[in-house]
A and B are shown apart, each in its own frame.
Chain A
Amino acid sequence: MRREVPLFITFVVGSLYTLNNVFAVKVGSWTLNSSIRDLNTWVLIVAAFAMGLASVHLLQVHTIHIARKRKSWVNSVLLIVSFVLVTVVGVLATTFNVKGLVGLNNNLFNNVQSPLGATMWAMVGFFICSAAYRAFRLRSVEAGVLLFSGILLMLAKAPIGEAIWRQFPVIGTWLLNVPNTAGQRAIMMGAAIGGFATAIRIILGLERGYLGE
């Protein structure tokens, strides 16, 4: 039962959604489409519950850090404090509409989360420069093609590229519209066939990785 019921749920739900996309099923006044619309709300609810899973695990890990006074446990305290503050303020401001906290909620996002997130991800810009300098060596024809297409596109996308030579943007646009599109398209088509096959296998219960097996 512990394995069969989940497989049955996957089969029924997956089949209903697949059927709805292919046929307009109607029996008397009932239509499959109307049931799928009701089911959509169920999906949103279950997905919303799933959003909290990672946070629970995060809190678990950092609570253990604090309890066992592991190295830099103070950072774990900061993490939990910021988590609780943002959650409480956010819930009160948006779910219970406490007017006085709406401004604080916006401030926490605009002055803490947003700039910190942007800065952290922007650091990747530094790493990519260093990585490009170290890794891009003309060792073979393929490496050369990779390197030159990358450099040509960088020159095409930067306004100064057009100032240096007017054909750089033309070459860049061609690279993007023809070889890049062809390559991405072929990869996309292959992935689509693979995705389709995997989806069928999941619905039929042949693929059980999501059950932890």
Chain B
Amino acid sequence: MTWLDKLQNIDSRVIYWAIFITLMIPLIWPMGVPLSITDTTKVVFDLVEKLQPGDVVLMSLDYTPLVAPEVHSSAIALCKHLFGKDVKVIFYSYIEEGTMFGENIISELTGKYGLVYGTDVVNLGFVSGQAAGVRALGDDVLSTKPRDFRGNVTADLPIMQGVKTAKDFDLVLGIGDGLAVLTQQIGAVHGVTVSGSSTAAGVSGMMPYVNSGQVKGLLQGLRGGAEYEKLTDNPGYAIASMDAQSLGHLAIILFIVIGNVAYFMKRKQMTR
């Protein structure tokens, strides 16, 4: 096996360790690479900025623990912004595990913002039926969720007074991969403004919705969360990860280049 063949067939574990170390170094020794703000993030920020104290926002936490590291920081940053403006937030999820993230956000932010459960925030819990469940929630919130995640009767909660259908929400935010379903079953049906955050893998599929105006703005993956943390001056986990994200990308590009250089040199050798 020549050195060109070896370059084209590096052991996978070598690549794994290289990526592992490349990502660890900037986490321990941050580089401080400046972060610019994309237009789609600015649109989301402006939407939330326009909200008034007492407005009610529906936040759909449609992500599993598998992709939580990507979008949970966006959810936290958005909630900090919303609670800082005394906006009321109603959580729900049509993904089973999303409901627990709602509980986590509430317990993390209650102390800082003096939230009263049932008045400032509520976690409606899980809505079964995927798209049908989301549509049902948009048509009639109280009969779709007669009880919240903690077992309270939703009709008795102060935050739910005046909330009957999706039209009663001032903004609907989707976090995770459920933004498309939210757009189709709530945005298109009730004409409510829909925005939110998507996993990076889902961003390319969401761009037609953003471009057509069905979704106003978009936080794109972990970088979107970092940009929102910077805009709201609430640095968190996302901003801290950006240096490592940068080096990770460069490492992958380097490996791709090495593979291609070796491939072309080998091909040239064989044609001689």
Residues of A bordering B, CB below 8 Å: 36-37, 40-41, 43-45, 47-48, 51, 94-95, 97, 106, 109-110, 113-118, 120-122, 125-126, 129-130, 132-134, 136-138, 147, 151, 154-155, 157-163, 169, 173, 176-177, 180-181, 184-185, 188
Contacts and interface: CB of A to CB of B under 8 A. Distances in A.
Is chain B's interface secondary structure helix, strand, loop, or mixed overall?
Answer: helix
B19 A176 contact: no
Contacts of B220: 157
Given A117-B65, A158-B250, A180-B204, A129 B15 contact: yes
A88 B30 CA distance: 44
Given A37-B140, A47-B130, A184-B205, A132 B104 contact: no
A106 B123 CA distance: 14
B44 interface: no
A43 B207 contact: no
Interface residues of B, number: 66
Interface string B127-169: 1111011011001100110000111000000000000000000
Contacts of A95: 151
Given A158-B245, A160-B249, A181-B207, A133 B10 contact: yes
Contact of A133 (B65, B129, B144, B258): B258
Contacts of A147: 256, 260
B259 A137 contact: yes
30 contacts: A37-B143, A40-B139, A48-B128, A95-B151, A109-B100, A113-B65, A118-B68, A118-B69, A125-B19, A129-B15, A130-B12, A132-B252, A134-B259, A138-B263, A154-B253, A157-B200, A158-B246, A158-B248, A159-B34, A159-B36, A159-B245, A160-B249, A161-B249, A169-B36, A169-B38, A173-B38, A176-B203, A176-B207, A185-B208, A188-B208
Contacts of A169: 36, 38
Is chain A's interface secondary structure helix, strand, loop, or mixed overall?
Answer: helix
A164 B203 CA distance: 24
